[in-house]
């Protein structure tokens, strides 16, 4: 997982791996904690490479969203492929998270 900061907005964009499950969720948590040590209140998550997300991954996304909302910010997700979007829909997360088709839409939503 890598992250980039978009110069115009200074909002970190976190690249989510092909699979987000118990095998790599600890790595994602560590990366999110590292990102948050810089104190951003807004983060964009790029799911364009992600083929599968397990409940452990969903939990991390939800917890991060709640933590950033407490700071007055939030997260926006984009690039969810149909199988991943279906998991978000079935879990009810599409009703509580900002989910967009493109990077630009996600970044704009957090400005």
Task: Specify whether the CB–CB gap between 61 and 93 falls below 8 A.
Answer: yes
pLDDT of residue 4: 53
Half-sphere exposure of 26 (CA within 13 A, CB side): 2
The whole-number mean pLDDT for each consecutive block of 10 residues of the chain, a chain of 111 residues, reads 52 92 89 75 94 95 91 94 96 95 95 87
Q: Contacts from 88-95 at CB under 8 Å and sequence distance 24+?
A: 88/53, 88/58, 91/55, 91/58, 93/58, 93/61, 93/62
Determine the angle formed by the axes of helices 25-37 and 55-70, rounding to 10 degrees. 10
Strand, coil or helix: 19: strand
pTM of the model: 0.87
CA R_g for the chain? 13
pLDDT of residue 30: 86
Tell which CATH classification among 3.30.750.24, 3.20.20.70, 3.40.1170.60, 3.30.460.10 matches the domain 3-109: 3.30.750.24
């Amino acid at each position: 997982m890598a992250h980039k900061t978009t110069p115009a907005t200074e909002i970190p964009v976190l690249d989510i791996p092909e699979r987000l499950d118990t095998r790599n969720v600890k790595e994602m948590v560590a990366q999110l904690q590292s990102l948050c040590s810089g104190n951003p209140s807004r983060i964009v998550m790029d799911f364009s490479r992600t083929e599968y997300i397990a409940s452990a991954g969903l939990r991390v996304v939800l917890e991060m969203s709640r933590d950033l909302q407490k700071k007055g910010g939030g997260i926006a997700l984009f690039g969810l492929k149909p199988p991943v979007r279906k998991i978000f829909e079935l879990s009810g997360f599409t009703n509580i998270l900002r989910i967009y088709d493109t990077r630009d839409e996600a970044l704009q939503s957090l400005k």
